[in-house]
Amino acid sequence: MIKDAEEQLDCSTNGKLAGLWLEPIMGAGGVIPLDPKYVQGLHKMVKRMGGLYISDEVQSGFGRIGKEVWGYKWQGVTPDIVIMAKAIANATPFSAVATRREIADSLHHDYFPTFAGGPLECRLGMEVLDIIK
């Protein structure tokens, strides 16, 4: 599957890639973890092409998959960006993005996401973190 992904990208890009957004454990498709070797291969390919690896932890994050807390840890990769929601505030509408400082500093902060979190949601999120700790 890695070879197929490489062939597709070779045919459809100039050799550079902005990034790959990947759900490490497919939630809507039956809670199916992706094969670690496959994810590690995709991660290497994305990095080689200059892209960012983004882990979609909306369904799998915050301990929903067990003691590892995050789905990407099952695959043995470190994402550049992690997106999260749902379990972050115990199903109250709330979302967040975590990334490295240099990536965050490069973003323009001129918009307000739908579920960025109000005072109640932030408090619930803090309680969830306390429970996980």
The percentage of residues in the chain with a pLDDT greater than 90, rounded to a whole number, is 39
> 12-32, pLDDT tens digit by residue?
989 899 999 999 888 777 778
For the chain, which residues make up each domain, given as ranges? 2-132
Instruction: Give the model's pLDDT for residue 46.
Output: 94
Task: Considering only the C-alpha atoms of the chain, give the largest distance between any 2 of them, rounded to a whole number of Å.
Answer: 48
Per DSSP, the three-state class of 61 is: coil
Instruction: Give the model's pLDDT for residue 107.
Output: 79
Q: DSSP H helical segments within 29-90, as ranges? A: 36-48, 72-75
Q: Tell me how far the alpha carbon of residue 16 is from its chain's centroid.
A: 20
Distance CA 108, CA 120 (A): 26
Whole-model pTM?
Answer: 0.85
Domain 2-132 class in CATH: alpha beta
- Residues of the chain predicted below pLDDT 70: 109-117
The residue length of the chain stands at 133
The structure tokens 């918009």 sit at: 111
